[in-house]
Structure 1
Amino acid sequence: MDTLISADRLLTGPAGQQLTDAAVLVRGDRIVAVGGRDELRQQARAGSDEQHHSDATLLPGLINTHLHLVADASRDPFGAFRTSTPEAVFEAMADRALQALDAGVTTIRDLGDGHGLAFALRNEIASGTRPGPRILAAGTPLTPPDGHCWFLGGVVEGPDAIRARIRELADAGADVIKVMAGGGQTTPGGASPWESQFTLDELRLIVAEAGAVGLPVAAHAHGTQTITDCVAAGVRTIEHCGWRGGSGKPDRRDDVARRMAAAGIYAGDTTPPNWPAFAARIPFPPGHRLGDQLPWMDSLGVPIIIGTDSGMPGAVFNDFVSALEMYTELGFPNDRILQFATANAADALGLSAVTGCLAAGLAADLLVVDGDPLTDLQTLRRPRLVMARGRIHHSSAQQSEEETTADV
C-alpha cells in the first residue's frame, strides 16, 4: 500500500532546499516521488494511506555517525560488556538502538563493539525481524597491544596481523574498518588522546588492505600529529578530530586541513549530548571553547559530520538534538546543521544513493516534527512521525499515550 505523507514545509536535505505544501509518496521501503501534495495524490495507488501534518516539517531521518551500542553511558561504559553474557549485552544494544530511533535517528554508525554483536543486530533489523534504525558497523576496532580499547578484542601487532584482522572483519560483514590511530581517555594506562598508536606506514597499510576488500577507514584521532598521518594515509573519516598538540593544547594546521578538504576526508565531530558538562571539565586556554575547531575547519572546506559518541560516560542514545545545539552556539545556521546530520553524513558513510535526502529512489527514512527546525532545533525533540525504510516507528512514549487514550 502507498503512503502519502505531507506537511506545510518539506526539507529535502541539502541546505537551502525547501518546498511548501509538499509531500513524499512512499511505496514499500522506498520513496517513489517528492513534490506538491495535489500532484502526488494523483500518483498514489488506490487505497493509499494519506497523512497530512499541519504546522509541521517533513525532513530526512537524522544520521548519527559515531556511537557505541555495546557501551552503556555509565562511568564504566564497557563494564557490563565485560561482565554480562553476550545475550544480555545484545538485548541492551537493541534497546539503545531503539532509543536512537525514538529520537528521529534512522541511521547509525557503530564504531566499535565486541563479539560481532553489532553485525548481528544490524542483520536482524535489516531483515525486519526487529525494529530499529539502519546500522553500519565496524566491529572490533584495530588497536596495538595495550592500546585504546584493547579489551574489545582488536589487538594487532605487525603487518601480517593487520592484514589478517581486516580480512576477518570483512568476512564477518564489516561496513567500515575502525582504527584507533591515537590514544583515548577510557583505557587506563594506555596512550593519551594526543599520542599516536600507529605509524604512518601502518596507517597506509590499513587503508590499502581495507580498500582491497572495498571498505573505508574511520580513524580515531584527537592529536594533530595523528590527524596529519591519517590525512596522509587517506582515511575516509577522522573521528573526534580535535587538533591538539602533545600537551593537549590547540594545535591547528591550515596546510593539513586544506589537504584534508582537498581529499574529501570528513571530520567526524563527536560532541556528546552532555557537552556543557563535558566542556566545563576541560581546561581550555583563554579564547578557546569546545568545538571552536569546527568553524575553522569549515572555513577551509573540510566537510563535517556529527556523531555523539553515545555509550561513553553520560552520552545517552536518545538525545541527538543536544549535540546539534552546540553548532548554533558556534554560529552555524540551522539548515547547514541539518545538512551535516543528513546529506553530509550519508555521503561520508557511502550512503548517498540510499538515504540522507528526500528524493525518488531513496529509502523511506524520514521524520515529521512540529514547527520549523530551520528557526528552532527544539522542534526535533519530539517527532510526530518517524519512518525508517518505510516502516512507521511508534516510540515507547507514543505507545504509552495510545494506551492511555484507549483506557479512557
Structure 2
Amino acid sequence: MTSRIYAAGLLLYGPAGRALVGGAVLVDGTTIADVGPRAEVVARAAPGTPVADFPGAALLPGLIDTHVHLSFDAGPDPVAALLAGDDRTLPFSVAGRARLLLDHGVTTVRDLGDRDGVVAALRDAIDQGLLIGPRVLSAGSPVTIPGGHCWFLGGEAKGTDGIRAVIRRNVAAGADWIKVMATGGTLTPDGPAPAEPQFTTAELTFAVQEAHSAGKRVAAHVHGAAGVEAALDAGVDTLEHCSFIAAGGTGAGPEERPDLVDRIAATGTYVCPTYSGSLDLAARSIGPERMRPWLDVALHQHERGVRLVAGTDAGIRGAGFDDYATGLEWFGRAGLPADVVLEMATSRAAEALGLGDRTGRLAAGLDADLVLVDGDPRADLSVLRSPALVVTRGRPHLPPAAAERGLG
C-alpha cells in the first residue's frame, strides 16, 4: 500500500464536537500519518502524494459495531437456520456477512457469539490479508448454564469448574473477549427468562477473575435489574442490552432503576443497548407510544452519564448486516444528540473494546480506518446508510452501491 491524501469538505475526528471544515488525512500504508487543514497536510506530505478530493463529503473514523453475531443470518429464525445449516458453508456465509458490514462503513466488529471457532478463523484470514473485511474481535462460545441462553453455541458451563473450562477453552482457541450470559434471553425461549439471572454473583465474579487473569475483558449479556447488579458486582467490562426488562416481560414495560443507572455511570462500565433494525419490527408490532419507554431507557442512561456505545446485535431477526446506520438513527429518535451518537459509534466504541490507541479517531499514528459519506451526519444520520468509500487499515474499499452510483 502506498501513501494517499483523502481530503473532504468536513472532517469529523470521532469525539463529539471535534470537527474541521476543509480538512485532509494522509494515509501511509496502514496508518494515519497526518491530519489537519487540507493545505497544511498537502504541504507536509512528500511531493507528488496523490490527493483524492471529496469537497461535498464528510470523512470520519471507520464505524464500530461492538455487538454482532456473524454466525446468524438475521432471518426470521436465525437459531433454526444455524442449527440446520451446512457447517462446510458456514465460513463462507460468515465472511459474506462481515463483508456486508464493511460495505456499510463498519471497519471494526466484536462478535459475541460464535460456534466452533469460525469467527476467529475469519479474523485471522482478514488479518493475514487473505480476505478483505473489518477488524474482527471474537469472543468464541458464550459462557452459559446447561440449557441456558444460547446453549447451542457450545459454551454450557456448570459451576465454577465448568466456567473455568469454557473460558480456558475459548482463550486457547484465540478468543479476544469472553462473553457471559448473565441472564436469559429471547433467542432461547426454553431457557431462563430475559429478566432471570443465570449465574450467582459469586459465579460471575469467578468468571471475570478467570478471564482477567488471562488478559481478556468480559462482556455480559444482561436484561433484568438483578442481572445488572450481579454483573456490576462481578466487575464485567461491558453490559450488553441492559434493557431493564421487568419480571413480567416486555408487556409490563422496562423497570425504572435510576439508582442502578447511577451506579453504572459511577463505575464507568460501558453499555451497548444493541439498537438496530429490529426496533423497526418492534415499532410496527407495538406502536410508537409503547416504544417510547424502551427508548427512554437509553436516553436516561445517557442523561445520567452512562458511557453508551453502538452495537446492533446483527444476526438476530431484523438486525441486518447491511443496516448499521438504522441503529444510530434509533438513538437519534430516542433523543440523543447526533454528535454523541457518532462518538458512540467511533471513539467511545474503540475505548470500550480496548482499541482506543488503534482506531476510532482521526489521529496520526492510529490505523487508517475511515469512512466517507455524502453530507453531514451531524445533521442527518441517515447519510451513513450508503458510504461513498471505506478504508480499512489503509486499504480502500468501494462499496457495491457506491460503484453502482458511479456507473450512473
Structure 2 residue aligned with 1:23: 24
Alignment partner of 1:278: what SS?
Answer: helix
Equivalent residue, structure 1, for 2:78: 77
Please report how far the alpha carbon of residue 285 of structure 1 lies from its aligned counterpart in structure 2 after TM superposition: 8.9
Specify the alignment match of 2:282 in structure 1: 278
Cα deviations by residue, 1:354-379 (Å, 9 ceiling, x for unpaired): 10100011010011111111111122
Superposed structure 1 runs of 4+ greater than 6 Å apart: 283-287
Cα pair 1:231 1:256 within 8 Å, conserved: no
Q: Indicate how the Cα distance of structure 1 residues 19 and 284 shifts in structure 2: closer, same or farther if over 3 A, else same.
A: closer
The answer for unaligned runs of 5 or more in structure 1 is: none
2:324 to 305, 317, 320: 320
User: C-alpha deviations, 1:14-40, integer Å up to 9, x for none?
Assistant: 000011111000001000111111111
Alignment of 1:4-403 (within 5 A): 4-248=5-249, 249=252, 250-282=254-286, 288-400=292-404
**CA pair 282-401 structure 1, distance change in 2 beyond 3 A:** closer
Q: 1:287 to 1:142 in 2, by over 3 A?
A: closer
2:138, 2:175 within 8 Å by CA — same for their partners in 1?
A: yes
- Is the partner of 2:96 in helix, strand or coil? helix
3-state SS in 1 of match to 2:242: strand
- Pick closer, same or farther for the CA change 1:219–1:225 going to 2, 3 Å: same
CA contact (8 A) 1:63 1:106 kept: yes
What secondary structure is seen at the aligned counterpart in 2 of 1:244?
Answer: coil
CA distance in 1, matches of 2:91, 2:118: 6
Amino acid paired to 1:154: G
With 141-150 and 374-383 compared, the bigger mean Cα shift is at 374-383
Secondary structure at the aligned position of 2:163 is classed as helix
Q: Which amino acid aligns with 2:375?
A: G
Task: Indicate how the Cα distance of structure 1 residues 286 and 78 shifts in structure 2: closer, same or farther if over 3 A, else same.
Answer: closer
Aligned pair in 2 of structure 1 residues 244, 401: CA closer, same or farther (>3 Å)? closer
What TM-score, normalized by structure 1, do the two folds share?
Answer: 0.95
For residue 388 of structure 1, report the CA deviation from its aligned partner.
Answer: 0.5
Q: Deviations over 1:230-255 (max 9, x none)?
A: 11111011101001221134222222
1:290 positional shift:
2.9
SS at match of 1:292: helix
> CA separation in 2, counterparts of 1:285 and 1:380?
27
Letter in 1 for 2:342: L
1:286 Cα deviation from its structure 2 partner: 6.5
How many pairs does the alignment contain? 404
Instruction: Quote how far apart the aligned CAs of 1:380 are.
Output: 1.2
Q: Which moved further from structure 2: 160-169 or 348-357? A: 160-169
CA contact (8 A) 2:372 2:388 kept: yes
1:266-293 CA-to-partner distances (Å, cap 9, x unmatched) read 1111112141222343599979433211
| Amino acid in the other structure paired with 1:256 | L
Higher mean displacement: 18-27 or 293-302: 293-302
SS at match of 2:231: helix
Please give the alpha-carbon distance, in whole angstroms, between the structure 2 residues aligned to 1:327 and 1:400: 29
- Structure 2 counterpart SS, 1:78: helix
Identity between Structure 1 and Structure 2 (%): 45
